[in-house]
Each structure stands twice: as structure tokens, then as C-alpha cells.
Amino acid sequence: MDLGLREKVALVCAASRGLGFAVADELAAEGAHLVICSRGQDGIEKAAGSIRTHGTEVVAVVADIADPADLKRLYDRAIAQFGRVDILVTNSGGPPAGQFDSIDRSAWDAAVSLLLHSVIDLTRMVLPGMKERKWGRILNITSIASKQPVDNLMLSNSLRAGLTGFAKTLANEVAADGVTVNNILPGYTRTERLEELIEFIGRKEDISPDDVKARWHAEIPMRRLGEPREFAALAAFLVSERASYITGSSIAVDGGWTRSLF
């Protein structure tokens, strides 16, 4: 299937590793040009070097997506290089884990900046051009936590649900302009972040990494973690020409973990 992504310009946030990197790499493999960001110079340059092997243009920008000035600089760099953004993939690191009692006002504010304001600000920047060209794709990397709360993830569970409401409302507002807005929900996927989480839980509970994984496997009908490339395959489809009639959807890539009907 030709996804129709050749020569499209995609801005993928938080893409030095993990899911963001996998999505950027998949889009480049399909012929898209990329603007990618993360906070560290070395990491984002290394990622860009690897993605360039697909032969498309890749611009690496050091930017903290929780910082509005960095977001503006990121968008301006994309426009300076390509003159447009056809596809926006929002992403970030996960907010800190914790229950209600451990989260103070400043932690809530920081998580709101990271998970909500970053998406809203970037959307505000890319949307006018997408509407003008009558073509655009906005895809938010959220979490299965937006469909089924995960224990100890108060910030993620709360704010991703808020983002889902934002995206669904926006999807309806811009649908007639040829712009789709969707969410893609990772389940337990084998990224560096998950490996760190395995180490953390193992140390905290004095159990082996294999025991941590076994516990997760028991919750997942497929009995294994997901691979970033399995996630990236759906992401590439959702931002493609071929997904032109899908908008306002939240689709999990979770091996069956989410127990809800929809």
C-alpha cells in the first residue's frame, strides 16, 4: 500500500529515542521529510543521523516541549527549512508516577505544560497552514491510561483524558478542512523508558527484571510487550493519505491490554 507520505513534512516531538524515534524513522522510510526534537543535542543529532539513512531531509532541533519559547523556535525552524508542516506528531516523556498525596501544585502545573499546553501550542501554530492547504494530520501519542487508568499514574491518567477531550473537540471543528486529529495509545512497549521502569520497580520491590516483565505479561492477552515498530506502523498509517476518513479516534496498540469495548 502506498501511504502517500512521500515529500510530506512531518514534525515529530520527543524523538531522540523510544516511540517518537520509531515513528519518525517509519515516516522517513515512507518518504517524508522530518523535523525532530528532544532536549539533548547529542541524542537528537544521533537520532537524525540514523533516520537520514532513509534518504529524506531530517532537521534536528534541541527543544524542551514544556517550554513555549522552545516550541515557537521549533516551529519556526520547520517553516524556515520546509515552508510548511503537513503532519504534527505530539509526544513527550511520561510525567512522574505517583498517587494523589505525593503530587503538589507545581507538579500538576509542570505536567499540564508537558502534556497539554505543548500540544495546544503546537496545534495553534500548525493548524492555520493545514487549513489553508486543506490537508493536515495531527496525531497525539498519549497512553492506554486515557482509556483505562493505570495504578499510581495520577498525572498521566488525568491529563491524557483531558487531551483526549481536546483532540475530539478539535477533530470535529477542523474535519471539513481536510485536517484529521487522532490519538494513538501505546500499551507496554519495549522502549528505553520501559526498561528504566523495569529497573526501578525491580529495585523498589526487590524482585528481578524478569519478574516485573512476567507480571506485565500476565496482564497482556498477547503475553508480551509491544515493539516500537509495531506502534510506528499504525502511526504512519494514521498520518497518511490513506487514513483520510479517520478522525477523532483514539486507537490503542496494546496487545489487548485495554479491557473496554471501545
- Binding site residues, ligand NAD, CB under 6 A: 14-20, 37-39, 43, 64-66, 91-94, 114, 141, 143-144, 186, 188-189, 191-194
Least Å from the CB of residue 216 to ligand NAD: 9
CB of 235 to ligand NAD, least distance (A): 11
Edge-first strand order for the sheet with 136-141 is 58-62, 33-38, 9-12, 87-90, 136-141, 179-186, 250-253
Q: Which residue is nearest to ligand NAD (CB)?
A: 18
Conformational region of residue 247, where left means phi above 0, alpha means psi within -120 to 50, and beta covers everything else: beta
Radius of gyration for the alpha carbons in the chain, expressed in angstroms and rounded: 18
| Measured distance CA(6)–CA(31) in Å, rounded | 4
Contacts of 238 (CB under 8 A, 6+ apart): 137, 139, 180, 182, 184, 246, 251
Pick the closer one to ligand NAD by CB: 155 or 174. Answer: 155
Residue 11 sits at φ, ψ, to 5 deg, of -105, 115
Minimum CB–partner distance for residue 193 and ligand NAD (Å): 3
Nearer to ligand NAD, 4 or 148 (CB): 148
- Minimum Å distance from CB 234 to ligand NAD? 14
For ligand NAD, the closer CB: 15 or 130: 15
Nearer to ligand NAD, 30 or 64 (CB): 64
Query: Minimum Å distance from CB 98 to ligand NAD?
Result: 13
> Residue 92 gets which letter from DSSP?
-
